[in-house]
A and B are shown apart, each in its own frame.
Chain A
Amino acid sequence: MAILPCGIHFESYRRHMGYLRTRSQWIAFLLFVILLVILPQILSVRFIAMINMATMICIAVVGLQITTGYAGQINLGQSAFMGMGAFVCGSLAANFNLPFWITIPAGGLGGALLGAVFGIPALRIKGFYLAITTIAAQVIFPLMIMHMPNKWFGGAIGLHVPTARLGPITFNTDVSLYYFIMGTAGIMIFFAFNLVRCRVGRALIAVRDNDIAAEMTGINIFHYKTLAFAIGAGYAGVAGGLWAYYLRYVGADQFTLYSSVWYMGMLIVGGLGSIVGAIFGAFFIRALQEFITTLGPLLVRYMPQAAGSAEFWFASMNILLGGIIVLFLIYEPRGLYHRWNILKMSYRIWPFPYL
C-alpha cells in the first residue's frame, strides 16, 4: 500500500483495503471513466481501432499476469489459449447463432479448459521445463484445430463469425465495438483486481514465492497451479471471444508462438506481479508496435532516396524493438509499474526528495 497524505485515517478494515480510498482518488477514477466513455468522440476511428486491439490484448495479458505474475508459472502458450476461446466462441456464434453473452463466456471456458490441461504438468515441472511444455500447447493447438472436422472450427480455411447483437444494437463499427470491448475489459479487470487479494490470490502468491513451503502451510498446490492456468487461460479465452467478434474471422494462423512471446514481453515491460503493470505493458508495447508499423512506410514515402525499401525499415524497427526489450531488462527489470510508483511517490512527498 502506497503512503497517503497526512491526516487520512480509516476506521474500518474495509475502507483501509479499498483501492479507491480518498475523495481525490474517486474523482480521478470518475474522470478516467468519463474520458474512456467520450474517447470515440475525440479521437479518429483509426486510433479507436488501435485502442480496441490493445484492449483485447490487454485482457489476455492480465490473464497472463495471474498465471505468471501472481502464481509464478511461466506460460508461453497464452496465444493458443486465446485462439481456443476465439474458435469456441466463433464456432458457437456461426453454427448455432447463439448471442454473445453466451458465446464469450463459453469461449472463456474453452480457453480455461485447454489451459487447465496444459497446466497439469506444472505440478511436477518448473521453470524452463514448464515454459517449453506450454510452447508444446502452442505447437499442438493449430494442428489440432486444422484437423478437426471442417464443420466445427472451419479447418484450414478459418471461421467467419456473425456480428454481435444486443437487442436493437449491432456491434459492427469500430466505435460500437469500442464500447463492447471496453465494457468486457472493465468487468474482467475488476474481477482480476479482486481475485488477487482474496484467498485464491493469496494462495497463488504463496505458490509463486515457494511452492514447497506453500504446500507445507496447507495449500493444495495441484489445485492452485491448475486453477492459475485455468483462470489465466480463461482471460485469454474471453479476449479470444472478443477477437472473434472484432475481426469477424478466426484462423489458426492468427494465434502464433510469436504473439505469445509478445504477451510475455508486455508483462515484463509492464512489471510482474501487478494488474496495473499488465495493463501498462500491453498498452505501451502495442503503442510502440503501432508507432513502428506506421513510421516505417512513412519514412519510405518521404525519404525515398535515403531509405532502401519498406522491408529495410521494417527490419530496422525490429532491431529497435528487440533492443528496447533487452535494454529494459538490463536497466529496469522491475518494469514500468515500478517507475510509475516511483513517480507517484515523489509527487506525494514533494518537495522532499525521499521519505
Chain B
Amino acid sequence: MDVFFWVDLLQYTLDGALKGMLYAVIAIAFIVVYRAGRILNFAQGEVIIFMAYIIWSLHSVATLPVPAVILISLIMAALLGLATERGIFRPLIGQPIWAIVMVTIGLMILIQGVTQVVWGGRERPFPVLFPGGAVKLGPLLFTSSIFYGGLISLFIVSALALAFERTRWGLKLTAVAENHQVAQAMGISVKRSIAIAWMIGWGLSTFAAVVFFNGRVLTFAAATIGLHALPVVLLAGLESIGGALLAGIIVGVGESWAAAFLDPYTAGISSQIFPYVLMLIVLVIRPQGLFGWKIIERV
C-alpha cells in the first residue's frame, strides 16, 4: 500500500466519476421524458447518434464555427423533440405500456434507417470541440474531453436538478410527473409539459453526443451507449433527476474500479456486467430504485 496505489486509486475513482457524469446526462434524458409521459425512450441511443451526425455535418460539411454548431444543433434537437412528441407519442396517450415500449422501438429502427440513408452508414471522424490534449492536476492525468465534458455535465445536471425542485417552471413539470389529472386540474398544460420534456430530452442527447464523441470516430455501433445508461436510470429510480447524478457516479466509479482491479482476473467481463448486476441487486431490495417514487397501488 504505497503512495502510488493511492494515486492510482484516486485516478480511477475520478475517471469513473467523470465518466459517470456522462451516464448521468443520458440517464436524465431518459428520466425527463419518462416523468412527463410515462414513456421510456428505448431509442435514446439512436437519438444521440442522430444528433452526433447532425453536429458532424454542421461542423465538417457546412464548416460553421463551434458555438454556431452547438447552438444550431440544440435548436434542431428541440424541434425534432417536438416533432416526435406531436407525430408519434401524442396519438398514443392512454395506450397500454407495451404499445409505448414498442413504438419507441419502432422509432429506434426508424432513426437508424434515416441516419443510414442520409449519412450513408460510414464511419466519420467526429470534430474536436473541446481543447485537445490532456489535463494535468498534480500527479493525476485526465483526457480533456472526459475532464471538461464531466465538469460541464456536472453543471448541467445540477442545474436541471435544481430547476426541477426550485423554479416554477420545473415544479410544473414535476407536478405533471406525479399525476396528469391533478396537474391538469391545477391549470398546468400537460400536453405542453410533455412537449417540453421531449425537447429537453433531445437537447440533453445532443449534449451527450458532444461529450461522448468529442475527437472520436462516429459509428452506429455506439448507439449501445443508450443501453449502457439504463442501469443508471433504474438505479436512480425512473423519477429522480438528482438521483441520476449520484447513480451515475456510483456506476461510473464501480465500473472503473471493476475494470482496474477485477478485469485482469475475469478476462474483462466484470466491468461490463457490473452495472447490470448492481442494478438487479438494488431492484430486488428496492423495486423503485434508490431515489424513485414509491407508488402505492389501490385495487
Q: Do A and B interact with each other, yes or no? A: yes
A121 partner, pick from B96, B98, B283, B299, beta carbons under 8 A: B283
Q: Which of the four size classes fits the interface of chain B?
A: 35 or more
Interchain CB contact under 8 A, B99 and A312:
no
Q: With the chains together, A107 CA to B297 CA distance in Å?
A: 39
Complex interface: chain B residues within 8 A of A120 (CB):
284
Q: With the chains together, A136 CA to B277 CA distance in Å?
A: 8
With known contacts A212-B297, A315-B113, A133–B283 Cβ distance under 8 A: yes
Chain A, residues 118-162, CB within 8 Å of chain B (1/0): the string is 001100111111011101100110010011000000000000000
With known contacts A129-B238, A257-B227, A316-B113, A329–B95 Cβ distance under 8 A: yes
Report if A38 contacts B (CB, 8 A): no
Q: With the chains together, A317 CA to B230 CA distance in Å?
A: 28
Quote the shortest CB–CB distance from B37 to chain A (angstroms).
12
A131 partner, pick from B40, B96, B277, beta carbons under 8 A: B40
Interchain CB contact under 8 A, A322 and B273:
no
Task: Enumerate B265-282 residues with CB–CB distance to A below 8 Å.
Answer: 266-267, 269, 272-273, 276-277, 279-280
Quote the shortest CB–CB distance from A295 to chain B (angstroms).
14
Complex interface: chain A residues within 8 A of B98 (CB):
68, 74, 264, 267-268, 272
Task: Enumerate A48-98 residues with CB–CB distance to B below 8 Å.
Answer: 68, 74
Interchain CB contact under 8 A, A264 and B40:
no
Interface of A is mostly: helix
Report if B108 contacts A (CB, 8 A): yes
Q: With the chains together, A136 CA to B284 CA distance in Å?
A: 13
Q: Which of the four size classes fits the interface of chain A?
A: 35 or more
Quote the shortest CB–CB distance from A201 to chain B (angstroms).
19
With known contacts A136-B276, A139-B227, A127–B117 Cβ distance under 8 A: no
Report if A321 contacts B (CB, 8 A): yes
Report if A43 contacts B (CB, 8 A): no
With known contacts A128-B34, A132-B234, A147-B266, A139–B110 Cβ distance under 8 A: no
Report if A247 contacts B (CB, 8 A): no
Report if B107 contacts A (CB, 8 A): yes
A329 partner, pick from B103, B113, B284, beta carbons under 8 A: B103
Residue of B at shortest CB range from A128? B40
With known contacts A140-B276, A329-B95, A317–B113 Cβ distance under 8 A: yes
Q: With the chains together, A4 CA to B99 CA distance in Å?
A: 32
Interchain CB contact under 8 A, B99 and A329:
yes
B97 partner, pick from A74, A121, A315, A330, beta carbons under 8 A: A74
Chain B residues within CB distance 8 Å of chain A? 34, 40, 42, 88, 91-92, 95-99, 101-103, 105-117, 120-121, 227, 230-231, 233-234, 238, 266-267, 269, 272-273, 276-277, 279-280, 283-284, 287-289, 297, 299
Query: What are 9 inter-chain pairs, A to B, with CB distance below 8 A?
Result: A131-B40, A133-B280, A139-B272, A143-B273, A147-B267, A314-B116, A315-B116, A322-B113, A323-B110
